[in-house]
Copies of this chain bind each other. A is one copy, B any other.
Amino acid sequence: MEDRIKARYWIETAFPLQEAAESMAGEQSTGTFVRVPGETDELRERHAARVESISEQDSVSRPSLPGAGVPKGLSGSPAYRRAEVVLSWPLSNLGPSLPNVLATVAGNLFELKPFSGLRLLDVNFPPAFLECYQGPQFGVAGTRKLANVYRRAVIGTIIKPSVGLSPEATGELVRSLAESGIDFIKDDELQADGPHCPFADRLRAVMEIINKHADRTGKRVMYAVNITGEMDEMLRRQDQVVAAGGTCVMVSLNSVGLPALARLRRDCRVAIHGHRNGWGIYGRSPAIGMSYVAYQKFWRLAGADHLHVNGLQNKFCEDDESVIASARECLAPMFSAPGRGCEVMPVFSSGQSVRQVPATFGALRSTDLIYACGGGVMAHPDGIAAGVRSLHQAWEAATAGIELVDYGRSHSELLAALRKFAA
């Protein structure tokens, strides 16, 4: 059986569903707006995208997005039908190329006239992609090994203030964090190589402290240093990170694009922390864009080891169910090949503190995650060390099935955090 790429969509259209689905398939494979001479039946048979299934849902009387067409000759106001549609393409149309899959499954079709809404819900890559893409180098198990953290959540934080600290001030903050027992520290996505905090100087200042701390204690804090930049800058910075003894680099995925991530992955000797800032453009409207399920598959194949999934009761608009679904998806294999499922470490972040720990563990039933708190560590009333301890205590309680308030009676840092970060 020939390998095919499959994609599932949510659509909304005033046209008959079969006709609408076929227009998607046509636009994204053999078609143009009129049939052209070279478009033989044999060619269509071999290369046309196929409508695999259509599953009708509800309908609405007003279109979700403006600009959609309605069938000619339709009288009165049309119903806009909603459905899930699965299309498939022969892999031989494009070959196992992530940027070209993106242009195929998430290209022009978002603008097609028959649709008042169209979202990519999922995409399935045939195993041939595993021959061309390396996927995560470290993923869950490798990250645990690099951070030397087993059988519990990786407790992390974010350098705050987001911008404005000098390399030396960043180093001093990292010193406090390392001494507080933190596992993981990430730069803010707003700080990569600003003139007041140049990359090389920040890396040097921070790694000096991390290295000394590791020499003294045996614990090497994982520092996801933001290398987001131009292609050669990112490659050079990765080398600098390795040379400095670092174990992780961070990139803003939407800023760098798939080929840059795949290129970085090829040379990379440390974990790649994938920040999803800008994700709102893809994910926030229910009528356009793509689901996180589809989105994260591209970045996993390209080589991300960690992927942001937001967090419960976050400062953004996403509901908890969606956050947990994203995290589960990161931990689910993409392929059935042994050792090549491309699982990645989900990163919980955005307004996180001790208070979301029980619900996070309750829903995910796993500690395979990075739990990153900015203010949730640094704004603890008794200081950073107490902030880190409070998070360890919260995870101990949650995994043991003990209520945080109960555990807080014998753990003062947790108690103080619960008071400070009450919802």
Listed in ascending order, the chain A residues whose CB lies under 8 Å from chain B are 28-39, 43-44, 46-47, 65-69, 91-95, 97-100, 102-104, 106-113, 115, 118, 158, 160-165, 169, 173, 189-196, 228-232, 234, 252, 254-260, 262-263, 275, 277-290, 310, 315-319, 351, 374-375, 378-379
Contacts and interface: CB of A to CB of B under 8 A. Distances in A.
Contact of A285 (B94, B112, B254, B288): B288
A28 B163 CA distance: 9
B282 A285 contact: no
A160 B95 contact: no
Contact of A97 (B164, B230, B254): B230
Given A38-B161, A231-B263, A319-B67, A108 B189 contact: yes
Contact of A111 (B35, B108, B317): B317
Contacts of A93: 163-164, 190-191, 194, 196
Contacts of A256: 99, 257-259
Contacts of A113: 315-317
A275 B36 CA distance: 22
Given A111-B310, A255-B258, 9 more contacts: A39-B161, A43-B161, A65-B285, A94-B163, A99-B229, A107-B189, A107-B277, A110-B284, A255-B259
Contacts of A29: 162-163, 190
B317 A65 contact: yes
Q: What are the 5 closest A-B residue pairs judged by CB atoms, nearest first?
A: A257-B257, A110-B280, A67-B317, A107-B277, A99-B255
A229 to B, nearest CB: 6
Contacts of A281: 106, 110, 281-282, 288-290
Contacts of A195: 91-92, 95
A109 B39 CA distance: 46
A319 B68 CA distance: 10
Contacts of A110: 278-281, 284
Given A33-B315, A108-B280, A47 B257 contact: no
B379 A35 contact: yes
A316 B108 contact: yes
A246 to B, nearest CB: 20
Given A195-B95, A254-B102, A30 B164 contact: yes
